[in-house]
Amino acid sequence: MTRKLIIDCDPGQDDAINLFLALPPTEDYEILGITVVAGNVGLEKVSRNARLLCELTGRIDVPVYEGCAAPLKYPLVTAEEVHSREGLEGVELFEPSIKAQNQNAVDFIVETLMAAEDNSITLVPTGPLTNIAAALQKEPKVAGKIQEIVLMGGALREGGNITPSAEFNIYVDPHAAQTVFDSGCKCIVFGLDVTHQVLSSDAVLERIKAVDNKVAQTAYNLLTYYGRFDAEKYGSNGAPLHDPCTMAYILKPELFDLKECNIRVEADSELTRGHTAVDFWYATELPRNSLWAYKVDSEGFFDLLVGQLGKYG
């Protein structure tokens, strides 16, 4: 049976690279829809960006749904300083011919899951978890329809990238993140500990630049801009590719080492809002509600990325 995916995102340069990984036609999975959530930039811009990326890749058959414009409780925090005011620095922006679906993303997620067999649909969220949490709150029965939630968020040893304690996606909507981790769904979590192991170095950029098609050249332009900010921040050769770890796992799970852990989220502390308490060494007897990615074959990751980009030729 073909695997069925819903990709939930907030494009964003690394979301764009994740979609480039996901969108080459394949018999391995079917993308039922792309849902967008306010995060890296506001909802109107992430919607345009997702539709633009679908058009750029020729995947005008994939419907895009607009979801939550703000977190469950907090005001929206965005990341224009990383991703630019429009969210896609490096892409020549245009208004896509693809229009967003009339149905709200949360309603689409609920309706699609409720119509599915149990344990049959994979959710791939790479932004704040607001849409996913809102769907779980609206209809708790959808949890039984979810095969797994493959998400980007959190940090353990790497600390945080928006505060000393928190990774951006979890910080923006910690209440949504805790709802997801408490849902009973199988969560596979790609936090900064593993995403900082896949850097878009100069050598990687040259490999991407050598792929002779428009999508690969767009990826090169995106990552050239994206890398400047993170290289200055972290003193590294290139930017960490956070979100693409999720689709890399879908495509080739053997690239990653995972460990069953309990993950809890600090939602209300002013000092540590969005902190992910990952019980990696089993200091508690709390149920292991997640698989935490802690190691990746970075060479294999970039072989996969370059191979997927080559499929757009």
Residues designated catalytic? 242
- Written as one letter, the residue type at 96 is P
Report the distance separating Cα 22 and Cα 253, nearest Å: 14
User: Cα separation of 153 and 243, whole Å?
Assistant: 9
Picking from 4, 127, 139, the residue whose alpha carbon sits closest to that of residue 68 is 127
Contacts of 212 (CB under 8 A, 6+ apart): 313
| Largest CA-CA distance found in the chain, in angstroms, rounded | 53
Question: Residue 90 is encoded by which pair of tokens?
Answer: 């490096």
Count CB atoms within 10 A of the CB of residue 258: 17
Q: Which residue has the tokens 């245009």?
A: 94
Beta-carbon contacts of 137 under 8 Å, excluding residues fewer than 6 positions away, are 179
Cβ distance 288 to 188 under 8 Å? no
Q: Is 126 helix (H, G, I), strand (E, B) or coil?
A: coil
Calpha distance 173→71 (Å, rounded): 5
DSSP H/E element including 53: helix 43-56
Give the Cβ contact number of residue 144 at 10 Å: 15
Cβ neighbours of residue 62 under 8 Å, at least 6 residues apart? 23, 31, 33, 34, 54
